[in-house]
Structure 1
Amino acid sequence: SPKRCQPIHWLAGITTFVGVIMILVAHGHYTVDVIIAYWVTTRLWYIYHTMANNVQLK
């Protein structure tokens, strides 16, 4: 991403963090559920983008 998009990345990260905190504060989910969901989601995102950028798979 270009340097000029860095504030958007920070805003998205902060918004995500606040959203997770709000879910936990509202007792909508158990803490373990949120941590596992975060872990699974980030791993799937990394795997997808790693495979999508792999020249041998194109």
Structure 2
Amino acid sequence: MDGKAVRGSRTGDRTAITPLAAMAHTGEVLAQRQVADKSNEIPAFAPFTFIIGEFPSVC
């Protein structure tokens, strides 16, 4: 799991877009979603729990 702010996505009236990605050990992105403004990555992690069951060899 990794979340990073997208460079150049912040404007004068909008905060930066922060996607959270679930990745395999090989670097492939398995799933991705945007983290809500004024939040952090922890609450956004819950929808990714399906990955543990769907891809046991990657986790």
TM-score by length of 2: 0.28
Q: Which is bigger in relative contact order (C-alpha 8 A, separation at least 6)?
A: 2
Q: Which has the larger radius of gyration?
A: 1
Q: When you count strand as a share of all residues, which structure comes out higher?
A: 2
Q: When you count helix as a share of all residues, which structure comes out higher?
A: 1
